[in-house]
Amino acid sequence: MNASSWPRPTLTLSLVLVVLVGVSYGVLFPDRTDYLGHFLAGAGGTFWLLAIVVELDRNSRWPVVYGVLAAVLLGVFTEATVFRLAEFDPVDLANQSLGAVFAGFGMVDGRPYDRSAGIAGVAGLALLVAGFAYAFS
Amino acid sequence: MRSPRSFWAALTLLLVGVAFAALAAWSMVARSTIPLALDGTVTSIELRHEKHPGVDDVWMVGFDDDGPRHLDRAVAALLTEGDRVRKDAWSRTLVVDGETHDVALSDDARRMLVLAPVVGGAFAVLLVAGSRRP
């Protein structure tokens, strides 16, 4: 196993922190599971997007940042349209964007040959499913 | 040893993250009206339901000098249409038709003021980790 193989420290740390911050959301906002749901869904969806970015670009530092910004903008669009219920809620947008930033940190030094994309895909799917479950439960 | 390109990319992520942590905290604090200056007449009070009625309800209060604002339920409960409202920014006293009321942060706002710095600290840890050469 070379130095860039799994477990890559930044991705590992990012995933651990997503779980810890997610637990913090659950403890601090026990009645607002939608906050936790938006956070997890933002992280999961962005991990998926960045899995593609890392596979497409071997020099994937700034493209990862652009990917996070694209995910944030996608969040703005969905919050303003399909998920706009009572209002455009900046708290929902912030929560999902915080998740997106955690994903960005996890993938910022990812490379096509270090299995980051595979890990991000699996973790992203789990986070996305958990996010939707908490947001709509 | 650090890679400058990784550092600047990670720093950009940190700034974006801190901005959204601040947005979450500010949005919740603003719903208490504490940071706001108000001077106008209530033109509308509307209860809107989200996904979980009774839990995540949204109280939208309109003023004659501004569009509807999302305010805490405790604040909206002090108001009725036609009330004259006055408040200085960062004051915790709201004057409604000459009667003073204390306003306070909601539990959610207080909790977000705890969580936001924690998230910022997590980003700082990731900045250090993410700026190291792989």
Same domain as B99, residue B37? yes
Same domain as B64, residue B25? no
pLDDT in the model for residue A8 = 78
What is the domain count for chain B? Answer: 2
Residue B31 corresponds to which tokens in the numbers above? 């719903």
DSSP secondary structure letters along B60-74: EEEETTEEEEEE-HH
Q: Which single residue is written with the structure tokens 């003073």?
A: B100
Taking only the tens of pLDDT, chain A with its 137 residues reads: 444 555 578 899 999 999 999 999 999 999 999 999 999 999 999 999 999 999 887 676 899 999 999 999 999 999 888 777 778 899 999 999 999 999 999 998 887 778 888 999 999 999 999 999 998 87
Domain that residue B49 falls in? 33-103
Same domain as B41, residue B9? no
In whole angstroms, how large is the CA radius of gyration of chain B?
20
Same domain as B39, residue B97? yes
What CA–CA distance (Å, rounded) separates B65 from B62?
A: 9
Contact A93 B23 (CB under 8 A): yes
Q: Phi and psi dihedrals of B46, rounded to 5? A: -130, 130
Same domain as B110, residue B94? no
How far is CA A132 from its chain centroid?
Answer: 13
User: Considering only CB atoms, which chain B residues are within 8 Å of A97?
Assistant: 16-17, 20
Pick the closest to residue B106 from B45, B48, B37, B59 (CA basis): B59
Same domain as B46, residue B15? no
Same domain as B79, residue B47? yes
What CA–CA distance (Å, rounded) separates B74 from B87?
A: 16
Same domain as B86, residue B131? no
Same domain as B59, residue B85? yes
Same domain as B92, residue B47? yes
Q: Are B70 and B28 in contact (CB under 8 A)?
A: no
Nearest to A14 among B16, B114, B126 (CB): B126
B90: left (phi over 0), alpha (psi -120 to 50) or beta: left
- Residue A50 or residue B130, greater confidence: A50
Size of interface A-B (CB pairs under 8 A): 127
Same domain as B69, residue B126? no
Nearest to B28 among A3, A8, A91 (CB): A91
The interface predicted TM-score (ipTM) is 0.91
Same domain as B66, residue B13? no
User: Considering only CB atoms, which chain A residues are within 8 Å of B24?
Assistant: 90-91, 94-95, 98
CA angle A59–A63–A69, rounded 5-degree value: 160
User: How close B9 gets to chain A, by Cα (Å)?
Assistant: 6
Sign of the Cα torsion B47, B23, A102, B106 reads: negative
Domain ranges of chain A: 16-136
Question: B-side interface with A, Cβ within 8 Å?
Answer: 3, 5-6, 9-10, 12-14, 16-17, 20-21, 23-24, 27-28, 48-52, 55-58, 60, 70, 108, 111-112, 114-115, 118-119, 122-123, 125-127, 129-130, 132, 134
Contact A10 B125 (CB under 8 A): no
pLDDT in the model for residue A3 = 46
pLDDT in the model for residue B133 = 55
pLDDT in the model for residue B134 = 52
pLDDT in the model for residue A86 = 73
